[in-house]
């Protein structure tokens, strides 16, 4: 995939701007300008976790402890979101009068907001070359989170209900919580495109199908339960498989982030230097 090609062992002549880079050119770590700078493209492996120096589009780079921590936090946010969603949704498949079902239903709001917070953490740490896409996903999450709080405070609580039950009984409430799930759909879509993950690709269609089916009323309960169960299983597989990927995969090419943080004049000088080095 394009994101993996960025760490090829041969330097290529890059474009001066990357505004038209494919959406899948992503890394799952929020690289701060103050940390990833000119030193990231030096030949030194000082500070590297394992001493490995990777050759990126704009020069060599290494993985440090801060990178590892951020990748783990990104993946942990996804696991938190998946585990909370599965725990809350499992009540739909348990006998209604069981103590476990009652316990889960009493804590639906806790599961919901813990999971939403985990998703927010992952979206905060995600780094995408196309900044507009990143900001859109974060804005959708924020809109959905605020909408969820407002729905709970203004509608569900006065009715003596919790948020999850209220949305189930009042499909129109999907308008308020839906943006949060749209952000999740965007995240799994990019994971599916960039890494070829089948479960992520399937989730891209299942998540909006369940929400739109519930909102429109065209989907009966049996179909919704089947799709919900599939969503639960795929979400767990998706989150769990993130920990099977090498740390490097979720970092991407740090030399690109360095290049993106430069001024236009510095970018031109960097490209010129690379061209001269290639010709030499």
Q: Are 261 and 33 contacting, i.e. CB atoms less than 8 angstroms apart?
A: yes
pLDDT recorded at residue 279: 61
Lowest model confidence (mean pLDDT) among 14-23, 68-77, 256-265, 270-279: 14-23
- Every domain of the chain and the residues it spans: 2-64+253-267, 67-244
- At residue 46 the predicted structure's pLDDT band, cuts being 50, 70 and 90, is low
- Ramachandran quadrant class, 59 (left: phi over 0; alpha: psi -120 to 50; beta: rest): left
Residue 13 has pLDDT above 90, yes or no: no
Residue 42 has pLDDT above 80, yes or no: no
User: Is the model's pTM score more than 0.85?
Assistant: no
Q: Which stretches of the chain are assigned E, i.e. beta strand?
A: 26-27, 54-56, 59-61, 127-128
């Amino acid at each position: 995939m394009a994101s993996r090609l960025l760490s090829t062992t041969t330097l290529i002549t890059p474009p001066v701007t990357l505004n038209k880079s494919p959406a899948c050119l992503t890394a799952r770590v929020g690289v701060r300008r103050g940390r990833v700078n000119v030193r990231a493209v030096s030949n030194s492996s000082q500070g590297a976790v394992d001493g490995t120096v990777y050759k990126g589009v704009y020069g060599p780079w290494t993985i440090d402890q801060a990178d590892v921590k951020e990748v783990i936090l990104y993946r942990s946010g996804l696991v938190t979101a998946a585990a909370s969603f599965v725990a809350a949704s499992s009540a739909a498949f348990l006998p209604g009068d069981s103590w476990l079902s009652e316990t889960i239903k009493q804590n639906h709001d806790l599961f919901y907001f813990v999971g939403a917070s985990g998703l927010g953490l992952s979206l905060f740490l995600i780094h995408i070359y196309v900044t507009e896409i990143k900001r859109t996903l974060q804005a959708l999450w924020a809109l959905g989170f605020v909408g969820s709080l407002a729905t709970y405070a203004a509608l569900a609580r006065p009715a003596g209900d919790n948020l999850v039950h209220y949305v189930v009984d009042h499909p129109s409430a999907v308008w308020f919580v839906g943006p949060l799930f749209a952000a999740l759909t965007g995240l799994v879509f990019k994971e599916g495109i960039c890494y070829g993950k089948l479960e992520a690709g399937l989730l891209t269609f299942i998540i909006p199908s369940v929400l739109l089916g519930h909102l429109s009323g065209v989907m009966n309960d049996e179909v919704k339960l089947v799709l919900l169960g599939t969503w639960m299983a795929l979400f767990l597989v998706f989150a769990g498989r993130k920990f099977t990927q090498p740390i490097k995969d979720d970092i991407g090419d740090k030399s690109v982030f360095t290049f993106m943080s430069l001024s236009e004049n510095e970018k031109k000088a960097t490209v010129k230097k690379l061209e001269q080095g290639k010709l030499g």
